[in-house]
Structure 1
């Protein structure tokens, strides 16, 4: 029982003492923050962060689950007072100033709770050294009767503070901080919408870049491959036409070459079209297409495919290319001996996970790493984000590497 009282009182008193230190710093820094905050955006950013830190500390003391915090301070230019005044996070953070004044009361409660009993014991023993100069329970001690009357009274009061007053004061202050600095539902919704817009803007920008790169690749493939074949084909037919009357055998030979060139051009054209939307998806569906990719992989693949239901074409294509790119990366860079591939429907979402037991260390970046990894993963992420999906890569050094993809399929 005594241990529980001391632990509870010590925790409350420690919280009040730390809040006093931070509260004093807030009161001292507040005038400078108000004077400089309108001119230096970083000051208000720091104020909001400090308010969130105090809010987190209050929730931790109250032993509550993690609560929503104030959104980050609004982006603004220096001297933009209008944007500063409209920032709800900044306005709510200003509650720290009046609340900091309460920490002086908390200081008295914490100090008395912790020192009442020790100081009473010392006063009861040492008052004789200077009678009338030692006080117990706020009264001067002149006799042993005063010492043995006021000393126990101060100790009982100190125990009461440690048991009830300090925890109550700490709880009241933490609750006030929590209520004052917690964002309103409207502010949370606005912040979430702003974050969502930022994410969509970033994902759409990445999708546009990826789409542009894809178009340039298709154009390059058509220009360097199919177009060259067709030009050569036209030239051979033209020469054959000129030789038809004088040298029919040579003309026939050129026409045979032109036929071979036409077949090669068709093959290359089908290859380009296959990178846009693989025909196998149309013929065998996503399950069959992924099975074909797994069968062609030089590394053994343990494939598990659940019930997929009706999957939109864009989602099928994204999932197919993620599997294709992942298996290619595994075979080229991972030094893995086995791959686990899971594809299943989870409610309105398609879930895809590709894991290998290779060397790990893969990272998503605009530029490939020393092993040539990175840019392909970035392209996969752009393709997934373009249809509002989510890709997560886990690849510690030494492995294993896991790519998890969630793609929305509608209701």
Structure 2
């Protein structure tokens, strides 16, 4: 019982004492803040940060989640008082100015709880050395009767204050601080919208970059492959036309070569088109296309397909390329012996996981490392973010590696 009182009361007294110190510092800074706060934006930002700090400490004492903080102070020009008093975070932070008003009563209660028992024991034992100079329960001690009655009463009172009064006061202080310094619903909604806009801006930038890189790759493939084949094809047909009358056999051979070149150009063109939207998706759907990918993988693949429902074409293409790139990376770099693929519909989202039992250590990099790893994962991430999806990679050294993708279908 006594240990519980000391533990509970000591923690509450320490919390109130720290609040007293911070309130004292705030009180010392208050004159400069009132004089210069409207002029210097940094004072406003510091007050909001102090409010968030107090709120976190209050939540920690209460043992509850701190929740979202107050948004940072709104940017403003020096001396812009109108913008200052429109700032909801600043107005919320003004509740901190109540701390100096309550710091003295709170400290008195904490001191009574902590010092009361040692002071009572000292007064009971030492009153004879200086009669009238020791006080117990606020009464000067001049005889043993007063010492033996007021001393135990002060001990009991101090323990009660320490075990119940101080914790109740600390909880009240922490509860008020947490409630008064919490952002309003409007601020939370605004913060969520701003975060959403920032995420969409980043994903849009990634989509634009990914789209540009994809266009450059397609242009390069067409220029270096298909176009070269078509130029060669035109030259062969032209030469065959010139030699047709003089050397029919040579012309026939050139036409045969031209036919082979045309077939090769068609194959290369089909390969480029497959990277844009694989024809197998149109022919067999997402489930059939993914099944074909897993069947062609040289490693054993355990594929589990749930009900997919109607999936938009962009989501189908993204999911297909994620599986294709993942299986390619696993085959090349993971030294895995087995792969698990799960694809299913979860409400309005398409859920996809690819797990292998390889060596791990996969990372998302914009450029390939010395072993040629990383850039493919970055391409997957860009493709997923472009349609507002989420990709999470877990690949500790030693494995296993898990790629989890959530693609919105709404």
TM above 0.5: yes
> 1:219-252: CA deviations, max 9, x gaps?
0000000011111111111111122222222211
Match of 1:171 in 2: 171
Secondary structure at the aligned position of 2:406 is classed as strand
For residue 359 of structure 1, report the CA deviation from its aligned partner: 2.0
Matched, 1:19 2:9: no
Cα distance between partner residues in 1 of 2:182 and 2:43: 20
Cα distance between partner residues in 1 of 2:30 and 2:258: 84
> 1:349-370: CA deviations, max 9, x gaps?
1100111122222222323334
Matched, 1:135 2:135: yes
Secondary structure at the aligned position of 2:333 is classed as helix
Matched, 1:148 2:148: yes
* Residues 383 and 258 of structure 1, relative CA distance in 2, 3 Å threshold: same
Task: Report the TM-score, using the length of structure 2 for normalisation.
Answer: 0.93
**Aligned 1:298-309 pairs, distance under 5 A:** 298-309=298-309
Whether contact under 8 Å (2:55, 2:66) holds in the other structure is no
Return 19-28 or 393-402, whichever deviates more.
19-28
Cα distance between partner residues in 1 of 2:7 and 2:242: 104
Match of 1:232 in 2: 232
Cα distance between partner residues in 2 of 1:306 and 1:403: 18
> 1:288-325: CA deviations, max 9, x gaps?
11111112222222211111111111111000111111
* Residues 78 and 405 of structure 1, relative CA distance in 2, 3 Å threshold: farther
Cα distance between partner residues in 1 of 2:227 and 2:25: 73
**Aligned 1:214-225 pairs, distance under 5 A:** 214-225=214-225
Match of 2:310 in 1: 310
How many correspondences in the alignment? 410
* Residues 218 and 79 of structure 1, relative CA distance in 2, 3 Å threshold: farther
Task: Report the TM-score, using the length of structure 1 for normalisation.
Answer: 0.92
For residue 33 of structure 1, report the CA deviation from its aligned partner: 5.7
Secondary structure at the aligned position of 1:23 is classed as helix
State the superposition RMSD in angstroms: 2.3
* Residues 33 and 361 of structure 1, relative CA distance in 2, 3 Å threshold: farther
Match of 1:274 in 2: 274
Cα distance between partner residues in 2 of 1:80 and 1:357: 60
* Residues 101 and 373 of structure 1, relative CA distance in 2, 3 Å threshold: farther
Whether contact under 8 Å (1:99, 1:177) holds in the other structure is no
For residue 84 of structure 1, report the CA deviation from its aligned partner: 4.8
Match of 2:394 in 1: 394
* Structure 2 segments unaligned to the other structure (5+ residues): none
Matched, 1:202 2:202: yes
* Residues 32 and 344 of structure 1, relative CA distance in 2, 3 Å threshold: farther
Return 33-42 or 363-372, whichever deviates more.
33-42
Match of 2:336 in 1: 336
Cα distance between partner residues in 2 of 1:223 and 1:282: 27
Whether contact under 8 Å (1:114, 1:158) holds in the other structure is yes
> 1:84-129: CA deviations, max 9, x gaps?
5543223322322322442332211111111211210111101112
Whether contact under 8 Å (1:334, 1:358) holds in the other structure is yes
* Residues 84 and 155 of structure 1, relative CA distance in 2, 3 Å threshold: same
Matched, 1:159 2:166: no
Cα distance between partner residues in 2 of 1:42 and 1:323: 50
